[in-house]
Amino acid sequence: MNLTLYLTENCNLRCSYCIREKCPNDMTSDTVRKSVDLAFSKGDTAGICFFGGEPLLKKDLICYALDLAKKRSEETGIPFSCKITTNGTLLDEEFLELAKKNNMQIGLSFDGLMQDDCRKTADGGPTSETLEKVSKMIIASGADAVVMCVVPPCSCGKLFGSVKYIHDLGFKHMICNPAYGSKVTWTDEALEVLKEQFDLITDYLKELYLKGDKFRFAPLHNKITENLSGINPSRYCHLGIRQLAVAYDGNLYPCTSFLYKSEWCLGNVSDGVDEKRRLEMTKLCFTPSPCKDCDLSKRCTNSCGCANIMNTGSPDMISPLQCEYERLVIERADRLGDELYKYDKDRFIKSFRRA
């Protein structure tokens, strides 16, 4: 079973687009222990993602969870994997050594050249200098890391430069998503700028590919792989099936987007998962009504119940912003894929088709 542990509701940053309230609520070691036990209680594998807030504020709980998981894995023979999503400001060489020892993937929340526009410290200070130092430390360590970039409308004109910057730092994988939620407003003008930035990124990725550079940029590379491999991305989201989120108090939810919403609670780590409720929740993953007749419905992540509920309040309604974003991404992914296919068909298929 895969669990996301929301170790703390506290954070040392105050990102302007973040909708999470900062509270001094931390998970207890007892809840961590029960979470690890739950992760090994069902399935052929066990996985834990450390999340927050800022999870590195609770390094002691991370170390405790890893020690427990190692013992459970040895006892049960069940393989264990782990990840962390962090703003990176508290990363140090000691933790990177721990991450490598445990094959932990690091999801680094880093907005590149846009970093200081929105990702501020609690007292309003910049964070870009710290993140550049941390990034170089990560690359030097050889840790498995992916950069997760959020694009706010106020800074979207810096996206192309940010992609180049992240690449030049030495990262091999970058994920990009627009800022969603109640604290941001995307205008038509900002979306036009975003499209222009993606055009530049598309050309840049072609240039890298032709040089033999294996840098991957999601969502463009993902869309190419999905299309070539016949994968329907609208089927990715399975509320409460692939992953459960554990709140600091031990309650279980289908995703971190639903934390503390009682109507979405699926049980508690002490009592286990409410399987009947869990099954009911999976039925909410479907193609939203407005998308059913769209020619891109099987190319688009329209059925993500978490995103739809967060943005529109309903699992059956996709937001206009997400729809526009998916369209611009698919169009440019197809252009990139067509150009790379024409350059070398065999290499293209080998590079992008999923086994």
Domain parsing of the chain, residue ranges: 2-284, 285-355
d(CA 349, CA 102): 33
Residues 117, 122, 127: CA angle, nearest 5 degrees: 45
pLDDT in tens, 1-51: 999 999 999 999 999 999 888 999 999 999 999 999 999 998 899 999 999
d(CA 50, CA 86): 8
Q: Which two tokens stand for residue 106?
A: 């690091």
pLDDT in tens, 157-196: 999 999 999 999 999 999 999 998 889 999 999 999 999 9
- Using CB atoms within 10 A of its CB, is residue 29 exposed (0-12), middle (13-18) or buried (19+)? middle
What single letter denotes the amino acid at residue 120? K
pTM of the model: 0.94
When pLDDT is averaged across residues 208-214 and rounded to a whole number, the result is: 97
pLDDT in tens, 39-50: 999 889 999 999
d(CA 312, CA 291): 14
pLDDT of residue 239: 66
Residues of the chain with pLDDT > 90: what percent? 75
Higher per-residue pLDDT: 285 or 262 = 262
pLDDT in tens, 246-259: 999 999 998 888 88
- Is-contact 149 194, C-beta < 8 A? no
d(CA 86, CA 113): 18
For residue 165, the SS3 value is helix
- HSE-CB at 23 with a 13 A cutoff on CA atoms is 12
Cis before 178 (ω within 30): no
pLDDT in tens, 295-307: 888 888 776 766 7
- Is-contact 139 171, C-beta < 8 A? yes
**Domain 2-284, CATH among 3.20.20.70, 3.40.630.10, 3.10.129.10, 3.40.30.10:** 3.20.20.70
Q: Does position 315 have pLDDT exceeding 90, yes or no?
A: no
pLDDT in tens, 228-241: 998 877 666 566 66
pLDDT of residue 238: 61
Q: Which residues does residue 85 pair with via DSSP β-bridges, in sequence order?
A: 107
Count of Cβ atoms closer than 10 Å to residue 131 Cβ: 24
pLDDT band at 284 (very low <50, low <70, confident <90, very high): low
- Is-contact 239 255, C-beta < 8 A? yes
When pLDDT is averaged across residues 100-122 and rounded to a whole number, the result is: 97
Average pLDDT over the chain, rounded to an integer: 92
Written as one string, the DSSP assignment of 248-305 is TTSBEESSGGGTT-GGG--EETTTEE-HHHHHHHHTT-S--GGGTT-TTTTTS-TT-H
Q: Which two tokens stand for residue 13?
A: 């940053």
Q: What does the chain come to in residues?
A: 355
